[in-house]
Structure 1
Amino acid sequence: MPGFYLDDSGRWTMNFYRKNAGILIPAVGYDGMIHGLQILLDSPLKQKDDPPDKSGAKYIWFSSSSKNMGVTSGSPVHFIGNPSARVVYVIEGLLKADISHCLTNRTFAAIAGANNTSQLDTLFALLAQNGTEEIIEAHDMDKYSNQMTSNGASKIYLMARKNGMACRRLTWNPNYKGFDDWQLALREKEQREKEVQRMNFKQQYLCGKCDFTYIDGCVELWHTRAEKDLDLTEYLGLTKEEYQIFLAQGNQVLKDLLDSQRVFRRFCIYQLCLGETQTVPFAFKQLDALRKAGYEQPPAAAYQTVWSAEVCCPKGQNDMEVLGRLFLDFNEHLPEDYRGRPLAPSDVVELDCQGKRTYFYVNDCRDFAPVRFSPFLCKRLPEPAQKQE
């Protein structure tokens, strides 16, 4: 049994020491039996010659191959879900597969590393015999920046085809590295939408999140509210002067007053051109990864223009606040005809302020670095194919 061996006294014991202390994660086979155990280490292991900035190994197999009567587990495939599922997802990481299954109730096969695909062949043959029709490759989004991960994903495709099954690559919002991170974020989305709903009428109108007629519905809601903690002025978010104008002169005058407090700013979104097998070293990564890849500024020729529009802002809102809003808007509620990805690290956003264009590299939802950028070198998304009548 992997991880067990005979000690010098001839007694069976386990290959556990302080350096490999951690959480045991079972690798369960297609037959429902535990074929091996991974250890999620309390302290990552580093080799003596590793550079200081290299992170150590987080996972190792529970093994005793170097011990008396010991044995290695190899690198077994972990399977969780329905053995007769029509669709099976392949993911990198045993724990990631368990979490993803709990969040979605879908069926997952997990390998311990992106290129540890050899044992998938046997599993795929069993799945095909049992009715599985499609394999979905769901490796982390670094498959667009890491050539080894991308190569491993390609092997899954070829292996699925060999066993008579269709295969496709799954992509998602690149702000979330793993499938499990993305699914957790979807669960939190409802809570964030409730936060937007708690914005008062004035806040929503100045940000362009509602039209002016929404004020009538707000007034009706205030009258039916059980709580009487806010008067109507506070509930709408108006100043006392604005409320008096609303009462004395009506909707149109108040609308004109609020319109004078907001402004429309032009913006463009540029994203890297990425294909199924193409990788870019800094894709979905921060500015330091771009510099490490040998670029001082984002290479515009590697980008494409995916969106150009206006955003409504309260007057006085600075560039960072506008960019923060765009980051949220282009993650939660993408426009119907928007064909780009959700806004993410490595994207470039152009802001137009009174005819002056400035460019920002997206590091994360709160960090946008000013950069030089030449949009004339960018490609444009191909026009969508016309539907046949």
Structure 2
Amino acid sequence: SLTNRLVKAGCRVQGVPGFYVDDNGCWTVKFHQRTSGIIIPIFGVDGLIHGAQIRLDHPLKDKDDPPEKTGVKYLTLSSTGKRMGTTSGSPIHFVGDPCSRVVYVTEGCLKADVAHALMHRTFVATLGVNNTAKLDELFAFLHRNGTEEIIEAEDMDKYSNEMVGKGASKIYALAARHGMRCRRLTWNPNYKGIDDWQLALRRKEQKMKEDPGMTFKEQYLNGLCGLEMLEACTEKWHAMKVDSISLRDYLGLTEQEYDAYLQTAPGVSFRELLDSQRKTQRFRVYQLDLEHGETRAFAFGGIDALHKAGFQQPPAAEYTLVYDGELICPVGQDERDILGRIFARYNQAFPPDYRGRSIAPSDVLELYDESERRYFYCDMAGFVQVKFSPALAKKA
């Protein structure tokens, strides 16, 4: 019915990918219930639609596929092999300014469109990580239009999947062939694609605006502020002019602590009362050495990926010590909560002396003091205690 409407409207469907003549001699399109989904247009640098991708409602799986395999999520709309059908030709998707000085390259049209909407940058997308043949012609065009730099923004599994890694390397070679610089974009590896990462940043910004935040005491016990913050919190409470919450409750203090703060009761000082409730936890961060684009089968993967790669424990010789720091935390805080805080603190915004990547699966954290050292592998859903030989690890 879709094809009939197009033909009646005067459109020519012959030679258009996806359309073909069926057994009854009628023109139709290869878009059926099994391949239903979102149709994503593939735009060329000329602004015209050169093809389409289908984001399937139900990923396609072969009957012999293992249960854990997710199946094919995307299909290119094509009628190759059908009567008077046409191949898609694997077109390159383009979104943004054809005269942009910097152009990002990724895999997947929808991903490029989402990243473009969030970043306001120019994106090129291939239909597969190794489907780069038509980039040659496009790069030549972009160079003539003034593009100076290509940024490879393939998914973060380029560090664990050799096929993805090789596809990313082809982008470098093609950029060099046409006289353009090329550099690799690496982001928080907890997010596979550049679109996921950018969306997470946007959501974090929104959450920070909506989050009422911690009380002064919670911030102090977690090492997020000093005693000088008391004055600012008190001024903020006065400015609020809300009778429903007392200053003591607003600061999060007990009655004894509040009296010590006001200096209306003899005994231990306010600072001593609070300092007795917090401690310093030392920790180290070890990460896989991926500086030169190497791939590791378990890079950014959980403990199952480590075991599948043939390791029962993290191979320390393939790790680098990237940070040795400390965290102030409440006395008695659970070990898992401490690990979670380290994960969150070194996940997006880093202190100036931190030289590692965002903490992610496959990283190893060490909690230590004068008497004990414990090592934890960052899994997909938390931390798993492991054995580790720090003496074998390199230093950043």
Shorter-normalised TM-score: what interval?
over 0.9
Contact (CA 8 Å) 2:188, 2:358: kept in 1 or not?
yes
Give the C-alpha shift of residue 92 in structure 1.
0.8
* Cα distance in structure 2, aligned partners of 1:123 and 1:251: 76
Structure 1 partner of 2:137: 122
| 2:122 matches 1:107 | yes
Does the CA-based 8 Å contact 1:3-1:14 persist in structure 2? yes
Map 1:1-389 onto structure 2 (within 5 A): 1-194=16-209, 198-247=213-262, 248-249=264-265, 253-353=269-369, 355-364=371-380, 367-381=382-396
Superposition misfits of 4+ residues, deviation over 3 angstroms: 191-197, 249-252
> How far does residue 243 in structure 1 lie from its aligned partner after superposition?
1.1
Q: Does the aligned pair in 2 maintain the 1:189–1:332 contact within 8 Å?
A: no
Q: Do the aligned residues in 2 keep the contact of 1:267 with 1:310 (CA within 8 Å)?
A: yes
Alpha-carbon shift at residue 191 of structure 1 (Å): 3.5
Q: Which amino acid aligns with 1:37?
A: A
The 3-state SS of whatever aligns with 2:201 is helix
- Note the C-alpha offset of 1:252: 8.2
**Partners of 1:95 and 1:251 in 2: CA distance:** 65
Residues of 1 paired with 2:202 and 2:239: CA distance?
30
User: 2:285 touches 2:321 (CA, 8 Å); kept in 1?
Assistant: yes
Q: Which amino acid in the other structure matches residue 174 of structure 2?
A: M
Q: 1:249 to 1:348 in 2, by over 3 A?
A: same
Q: State the distance in 2 between where 1:99 and 1:3 align.
A: 25
Deviation at 1:195, TM superposition (A): 6.6
Partners of 2:89 and 2:216 lie apart in 1 by 61
Tell me the residue number matched to 2:4: none
- Give the secondary-structure state (helix, strand or coil) at the position aligned to 2:391: helix
The alignment partner of 1:18 has SS state of coil
Kept in 1, the 8 Å contact 2:260–2:268? The answer is no
- Report the CA distance between 1:27 and its aligned residue: 0.8
Aligned-pair CA distance for 1:249: 4.9
Contact 2:51/2:88, CA 8 A, preserved across alignment:
yes
* Superposition deviation, residue 182 in structure 1: 1.1
Alpha-carbon displacement from aligned partner over 1:290-321 (angstroms, at most 9, x marks no partner): 00000000000000101111110101101100
Alpha carbons 2:188, 2:348 under 8 Å: kept: no
Distance 2:292 2:268 in 1: 53
Offset at residue 216 of structure 1 (A): 1.4
Aligned residues: 380
What is the CA distance between 1:353 and its match in structure 2? 4.8
Aligned-residue offset at 1:276: 3.4
Unaligned 5+ runs, structure 2: 1-15
TM-score normalized by structure 1?
0.94
Cα pair 1:143 1:149 within 8 Å, conserved = yes
CA displacement 1:107-162 (0-9 Å, x = unmatched)? 00000111111111011111111111111100011101111101000000000100
TM-score (norm 2): 0.93
User: What is the DSSP-based 3-state SS (H/G/I as helix, E as strand, rest coil) of the residue aligned with 1:191?
Assistant: helix
Q: Distance in 2 between matches of 1:219 and 1:263?
A: 25
CA deviations over 1:190-213 (Å, ceiling 9, x no partner):
234447761000000000000111
* CA distance in structure 1 between the aligned counterparts of 2:349 and 2:48, rounded to whole angstroms: 43
SS of 1:332's partner is: coil
Residue 361 of structure 1 deviates from its aligned partner by 0.6
Quote the Cα distance in structure 2 between the aligned partners of 1:181 and 1:240. 46
1:327 is paired with a residue whose SS is helix
Shift of 1:48: 3.1
RMSD: 1.6
Which residue pairs with 2:5 in the alignment?
A: none
State the match for 2:6 in structure 1.
none
Please give the alpha-carbon distance, in whole angstroms, between the structure 2 residues aligned to 1:142 and 1:100.
Answer: 18
Match of 1:384 in 2: none
